A and B are shown apart, each in its own frame.
Chain A
């Protein structure tokens, strides 16, 4: 176990270091926050082509309304070509879009991005990796170590973590998903995750939540997602969030850092991005922009 934990920690540090220093070989750099920018003004037609992660779509839409004064319906239309986390990075690098609001890309995507001009990433908000169980499950809290042991196959029965004597059915996400990227970065690192049956790997974020809710109608399933999506976009009755190290996930505990599995999401532009896109990014990093992020239900980074 100790070896695994060291690997996990190393992976997290490596990833964090890469992001904060903007290593050139990965084709990305990170901006510093500018707190003095004014809110840009633009027409709906001038609004840049925007893409990103599914959990950031509501923020993208709210941004369209804020920047252009368009209707919510028009804002939804701006996401018609939405591609999701990893494809969106590549599309931006290829000049297909102007700006992203996205979670961190998978390592495989970072490798592909090395073939393109560097992207400019600026953290604009925080989200957390959260774990969910059926509400009938008596377990309320797990430690990071317990979650690690479950997903690496060391713990296989709920009774080992204070629950009933039933097998743990641990749902996973595909390696290319944003949630899985966060899972690896924050918890698992390079460790080998326990082999999961095909039906235990949920393709979409909503799939894992639905699977948890419906799986066998019992309390032995465990799954994970990002907090904003699971709490705001696809909240399902019959599920509950687990405390991690005794801390309930919430905007407050994510903001204060009490909740341990927190990661940032980014505003990303490229050299080819339109000026309006770059203005939007600057504004999101400003105090006003960060207030806007919070008003939209997200946790600001500042």
Chain B
């Protein structure tokens, strides 16, 4: 069966494959999805247009004739969405726990994937539907009333039940501010914006829904001025950032205060967007906070904090982008706590941090140091290699560095015959020569973790792919190959003839 999150798209037109987890919307080109067994062999092929997918659970394929088929991440056929109406659909969302939401131009339709039958049909102009874990949330666009349903259609929560305060919410635009939390918890509040775009918050309405129990949680200390606060979640804890005091506090889902305004939450403001500048991990359950030149790592499992010096702030690569950062770590080094981030780009999860003149990289169960001169930027790294970029005049030169020795193995060279770039896989490196015209379909070489050449093609191209595989173009073919260049899935380029 498929390895984790191994559903991918292989576009026969452009030869490009991307992980389903990274896809929200796609052109309507035909795709093929393949089930890949642990031993690398192909189990089955599914052809259709990818309509939507969640992070790694379900994939919805338009298989023609206004039908959509649903597959789980193991490639198992879940069923056909017979009520899906083809033309004009605007979006489709597949979420785990057997809930499927297809939105057409004028209606939102919610299906139970288990039963594959329509259980709710609501005019899109009047209602919005959002799916969170095992529940879905219906919002009356006019009144702000919300309902919470489980995947069988049972109403778990109605904001007007026993809550007459919300009945006054009749004018203006109401929109929910909701957050899915691991374990099926849902936490939300309702924002209100009138015609003059004055935004305020009525509520808040806190909902906890785990399929068994639904109740309001209103005992957060910051509840009275919710909009002044920023809410985020990690593990089964909440971080609430107070915009006024620029402090962050950590609560558990029961509302118990675990960490009280102890640190400054790093925020950056760019292009009218507030960016999170901290990381929370699903694996280490940690939040990083900064205060007075120190980083503080709060371990939510141990419920203790570790303080460590803040390296030069600019050098921390802590941008929050969806799926970009997956976790954080901290490490005892020379009697100091060091912190780093787990970078996740579908290819490597190597923690690293910059400490002035070097990058500290936690790889191969060791803490390695990669010296970097001023102006150098770490572009990528894996367990074996790092790629650091320097600006030299008007050019940017990349250097491939051996993590174990710190030795520079190769540079990207200037334009012309020596130009190349580096693409790092899990523990391998693709060296891709760049033709004089800037194209890539020239030669590629793949080095393994021992710095040995394991694949070379004078005419071809390769890209890093998941599970130690590569996307390979060679001759008239493209597809998925192992690192040695042996085909796992080979398709004929759709552009032929």
Contacts and interface: CB of A to CB of B under 8 A. Distances in A.
**8 tightest A-B CB contacts, nearest first:** A76-B475, A80-B459, A217-B65, A79-B475, A77-B459, A214-B64, A84-B497, A76-B474
B12 A79 contact: no
6 contacts: A73-B474, A76-B477, A81-B459, A206-B12, A206-B494, A210-B30
A57 interface: yes
A217 B475 contact: no
Interface residues of B, number: 23
Contacts of B415: none
A206 B47 contact: no
Nearest to A178: B497
Contacts of A218: 65
A215 B459 contact: no
A61 to B, nearest CB: 7
A84 B496 CA distance: 7
Given A80-B459, A82-B476, A177-B497, 20 more contacts: A75-B475, A76-B460, A76-B474, A77-B458, A77-B459, A77-B460, A78-B475, A80-B441, A80-B475, A81-B459, A204-B495, A204-B496, A204-B497, A205-B496, A206-B12, A207-B494, A213-B47, A214-B48, A214-B63, A216-B64
Nearest to B455: A73
Given A77-B457, A77-B458, A218-B65, A54 B495 contact: no
Interface string B59-90: 00001110100000000000000000000000
Given A57-B476, A76-B475, A80-B441, A217 B494 contact: no
Given A214-B64, A217-B65, A82 B496 contact: yes
A14 interface: no
Contacts of B30: 210, 214
B497 A205 contact: yes
Given A210-B47, A217-B64, A54 B497 contact: yes
Interface string B379-421: 0000000000000000000000000000000000000000000
Interface residues of A, number: 30
Contact of B63 (A61, A77, A80, A217): A217
Interface in A181-219: 203-207, 210, 213-218
B492 interface: yes
A61 B475 contact: yes
B477 A234 contact: no
B19 to A, nearest CB: 23
A85 interface: yes
Nearest to B473: A80
